[in-house]
């Protein structure tokens, strides 16, 4: 669950927020003048976002491929892949 906090609170509680993010996986949206201006998220999530963006940028038709695969699954037009074990 994301918690919204003021920029002043974030400044005053930065070490505590960092611990909560690291240990509990919490996320925070920092608000200034009632507007979201920044987010604090676990580093693993940040890395995941970057990886996803990289995939989307390097394969422009990936969304089209995913929609096609989703449609094939819904209509039963797919094969179950089983890895061979030696």
pLDDT digits (tens, 9 = 90+) for 15-34: 999 999 999 999 999 999 99
> Looking at the DSSP assignment, which residues form a beta bridge with residue 84?
none
How much is the pLDDT for 75? Answer: 92
* Closest C-alpha to 48, from 29, 16, 25: 25
Is there a contact between 30 and 37 (Cβ–Cβ < 8 Å)? yes
Provide φ and ψ at 71, rounded to 5°. Answer: -65, -40
How much is the pLDDT for 84? Answer: 64
How much is the pLDDT for 62? Answer: 87
Q: What is the mean pLDDT of the chain?
A: 92
Is there a contact between 27 and 44 (Cβ–Cβ < 8 Å)? no
pLDDT digits (tens, 9 = 90+) for 65-83: 889 999 999 998 877 777 6
Task: Report how far residue 12's alpha carbon sits from residue 66's, in angstroms, rounded to the nearest whole number.
Answer: 44
Domain ranges for the chain, please list them: 2-41, 44-75
Domain 2-41 has CATH 3.40.1620: yes
């Amino acid at each position: 669950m994301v918690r919204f906090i003021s920029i002043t609170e974030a400044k005053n509680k930065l070490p505590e927020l960092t611990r909560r993010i690291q240990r509990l996986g919490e996320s925070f949206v920092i608000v200034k003048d009632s507007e979201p201006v920044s987010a604090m998220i676990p580093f693993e999530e940040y890395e995941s976002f970057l990886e996803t963006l990289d995939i989307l940028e390097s394969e422009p038709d990936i969304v089209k491929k995913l929609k096609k695969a989703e449609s094939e699954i819904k209509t039963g037009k797919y094969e179950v892949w089983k890895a061979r074990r030696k």
